[in-house]
Structure 1
Amino acid sequence: MTTHNASTVLVTGATGGLGAETCRRLAAAGHTVWMGVRTLEAGYDVAGKIRVDSPDADVRVVELDVTSDDSVTAAYRAVSESGTGLDVLVNNAGIAGRVAAPTDTVPTDFLPVFGVNLLGPVRVTHIFLPLLAQSPSPRLVMVSSGMGSFAVTNDPARIESTLHGLVYPSSKAALNMVATMYAKALPSIRVVAVDPGYTATALNGFSGTQSVEDGTDAIVEACTADSPAGMFIDRHGPVPW
């Protein structure tokens, strides 16, 4: 995999799971990493752990709640005024919501999940777009899921086909559509949606079948590779919509 020179990356939801591991790997590779976090103390803790293994890592913490216009706007000011620029925006923050069978799901179950998983990426992208557009090689990475793929969730060979729910899968399916529309509207920005795979994180009670490092393979590739294998990818290559 051929990669670009060091760039500046902002990752939302950076204090745990896929977000923290993505920050660790990118910082270790020499990229400047902004960790978007809801709680500064937690962010500083993760950043400190990254520096233990990579003392020269340029890891910066910025308070960022993807559900708040004011919070994201303040984060934008902090990043833009720092002078680092922004080359890659990784919309990673996500929640699973209430676990319920489709027949037990009610409309209010959708609100918090769509607020983070769909409206969060739209809010962060909209506010950070002016800074991202100044990069010579801008990238927009949406951390989606195989649960958002109609093909994957209907493939009996995939574990996703056995996981039934209305809310989380539909939020990721909607995010995939948003990604395709951004790609059409922003031809100068490389837009990639990523399926990390069924990764053991707090989102699923650590029931996933692969490690968090494996889960970040496709995210890191989307951030750094000269030619991502497709617009919707996992660690093995293109994912069907």
Structure 2
Amino acid sequence: MTTTLITGANKGLGFETARRVLAAGHTVHLGARDPERGRRAADRLGARFVQLDVTDDASVAAAVKTIESEGGLDVLVSNAGIEPRRPDGSFVDPAQTTADAMRAVFETNVFGMVRVLHAFLPLLRRSAHPVVVNVSRGLAATAALADPRSPAHFYPDVAYPSSKAAVNMLTVQYAKAFPGIRINAADPGFTATDLNHHTGTQTVEEGAEVIVRLARVGADGPTGTFQNAAGVLPW
């Protein structure tokens, strides 16, 4: 039986990924910051809820103890993330982006990912076929944002794509450091979720496709890659 932890899984891509890997036979720990929302989502799916705030050391440590006591971990899907938009869904002007605002985004999207992998690494190393999926975005690709012909060129925010570029670099470096673990980055595409105020052009079912695929790779599967639904992407 494969056991999977998904962070930020009470809604959106995380929830859909949980639903799909459960259907594939995985035991799923649904991670969420908010206990009420997390338990409600887990109950809907038949998953196991674990309270997990990726920005909090104590919360992550407690989640490790819980999952270890329930049998260990095979697959880690680092999905929790934030995007700095105003309440009306508009972007923050780069001229108004402060170091503190950048730090807040990196605390969840980057440092949170590092915190969770570092904490769960001993459990993953005990697995016969450990897998890590880091949820990134196509916006991490500098070439796309720099190219006026690219659909991504319009994207004005500074913090979010910078954080996802860091996620991609973490994926490359971790994959080299831990060759016994399949570690890949997933680009779910422009998916309509609460994160982007449902401005995305894809459904969560479409967006979760690549995450689920990478969560289910075998011991001889790819590692150190950046992929979307169509296949491998350039970094």
Q: For this structure pair, what is the TM-score category when the shorter chain's length is used for normalisation?
A: over 0.9
Range moving further from structure 2, 153-162 or 103-112: 153-162
**Which residue does the alignment assign to 2:95?**
103
**Which residue does the alignment assign to 2:161?**
169
Deviation at 1:158, TM superposition (A): 3.9
Matches within 5 A, 1:23-172: 23-51=18-46, 59-83=47-71, 85-98=72-85, 99-172=91-164
What is the letter of the counterpart of residue 71 of structure 1? S
Deviation per CA, 1:7-63, whole angstroms, max 9, x where unpaired?
A: 111000011111111001111111100011112211121122224xxxxxxx11001
Mapped partners of 2:29, 2:77: distance in 1: 10
**Against the structure 1 CA distance between its residues 158 and 220, is the aligned structure 2 distance closer, same or farther, given a 3 Å change threshold?**
farther
**Count, aligned residues:** 228
Mapped partners of 2:57, 2:120: distance in 1: 11
Matches within 5 A, 1:203-222: 203-222=195-214
List gaps (5 residues or longer) in structure 1: 1-5, 52-58
What is the letter of the counterpart of residue 96 of structure 1? E
RMSD: 1.5
Q: Normalization by structure 1: what TM-score?
A: 0.90
Residue pair 2:78, 2:133 contacting (<8 A) in 1 also: yes
Deviation per CA, 1:157-209, whole angstroms, max 9, x where unpaired?
A: 54322111110000000111111110111011111001110000001000000
What is the letter of the counterpart of residue 66 of structure 1? V
What is the letter of the counterpart of residue 26 of structure 2? H
List gaps (5 residues or longer) in structure 2: 86-90
**Against the structure 1 CA distance between its residues 148 and 80, is the aligned structure 2 distance closer, same or farther, given a 3 Å change threshold?**
same
- Give the SS at the match of 2:39: helix
Q: Normalization by structure 2: what TM-score?
A: 0.93
Give the fraction of aligned pairs with identical amino acids, expressed as a percent: 48
Deviation at 1:230, TM superposition (A): 6.7
Mapped partners of 1:180, 1:228: distance in 2: 12
Range moving further from structure 2, 183-192 or 154-163: 154-163
1:232 aligns with 2:214: no
Mapped partners of 1:235, 1:156: distance in 2: 24
Mapped partners of 1:122, 1:230: distance in 2: 16
- Give the SS at the match of 2:126: coil
- Give the SS at the match of 1:200: coil
**Which residue does the alignment assign to 2:88?**
none
Mapped partners of 2:41, 2:146: distance in 1: 37
